[in-house]
Amino acid sequence: MDFKIVQPGLIEITKEEGVKDSRPSSSLIITNGCNILIDTEHPKEDGIAFEQAILRAGLLCDEIDYVIFTHLHPDHMGHKDKFNNATFIFQGSERLVSYFRNDKKLILNGSCLLSFAKDSDPAVQYTSGFPEMALLGDSLYIHLLPGHTAGSVAIFAFIDKKVHVFAGDIFLNKDYFDRMEPPGSSWDPSMLPEQQLFIKKNADIIIPGHGELINVI
């Protein structure tokens, strides 16, 4: 399994103006010949820099096989029209599911293992227990953590003998991680402190929703 940051996220928030600037973290995982993108780009951008970032990662947009969304907030799912050959993967409990009504998609309904193979649909194995990370192999573990949105997930991958967690906006960036502070604009913020502790306990590396990767240990 190979992993690259396509485009590091950023966020700038002031008390006076709120969110002044924002860009989601976008990551690439390559496993079993499949190119998997995690989150895309803010729709306020023209998408050109994002397309160039994917090119620097060694791929064309049409070579992306799957796009997995950590959650369906608009700032994480812009420019989906660039991925003509991709299957979009997200939780069915998300509010903006209808936005993908004309797209090829895989709608999930809970925590699961996803196994990928070239030229075939992903194998989905739903699970109620937390798997042994060292045994994930080429699979991804999608852990449903409703709170930031109704269908927010953390995506777990075992890469180079370390547990990588693509956390979406459960952690905005390292500052929020250091303070263990929940993000604003959440569907049920009361659920987030427990979720943050869960990720911190089980991760070696966290890719937050809007910042550089975080080395937990």
> What is the C-alpha to C-alpha distance for residues 119 and 38, in angstroms, rounded to an integer?
19
Instruction: Answer whether 3's CB lies under 8 Å from 29's CB.
Output: yes
Would you say residue 20 has pLDDT above 80?
Answer: no
Residue 119 confidence class, pLDDT cut points 50, 70, 90: confident
**pLDDT 10s digits, 38-49:** 999 999 999 999
pLDDT recorded at residue 13? 76
Phi, psi of 201 (to 5 degrees): -65, -35
**pLDDT 10s digits, 41-93:** 999 999 999 999 999 999 999 999 999 999 999 999 999 999 999 999 999 99
**Tokens 């992306």 correspond to what residue?**
64
pLDDT recorded at residue 17? 66
pLDDT recorded at residue 14? 73
Would you say residue 102 has pLDDT above 70?
Answer: yes
Mean pLDDT score across all residues of the chain: 95
pLDDT recorded at residue 133? 96
Structural domains in the chain plus CATH codes: 2-215 (3.60.15.10)
pLDDT recorded at residue 131? 96
**Cα angle, residue 73 at apex, residues 71 and 75 outer, rounded to 5°:** 115
Region label for 47, one of left (φ > 0), alpha (ψ between -120 and 50) or beta (otherwise): left
Alpha helices in 8-143 (DSSP H): 48-56
Farthest-apart Cα atoms in the chain, separation: 50
Phi, psi of 143 (to 5 degrees): -105, 115
> What is the C-alpha to C-alpha distance for residues 170 and 6, in angstroms, rounded to an integer?
20
Q: Give bridge partners of residue 195 from the DSSP assignment.
A: none
**pLDDT 10s digits, 141-167:** 999 999 999 999 999 999 999 999 999
3-state DSSP percent of the chain in helix, strand and coil, to 5: 20, 35, 40
Give the SS3 label for residue 202: helix
> What is the C-alpha to C-alpha distance for residues 185 and 84, in angstroms, rounded to an integer?
31
Would you say residue 12 has pLDDT above 90?
Answer: no
Dihedral (C-alpha) 199, 68, 50, 118: value to the nearest 10 degrees? 120
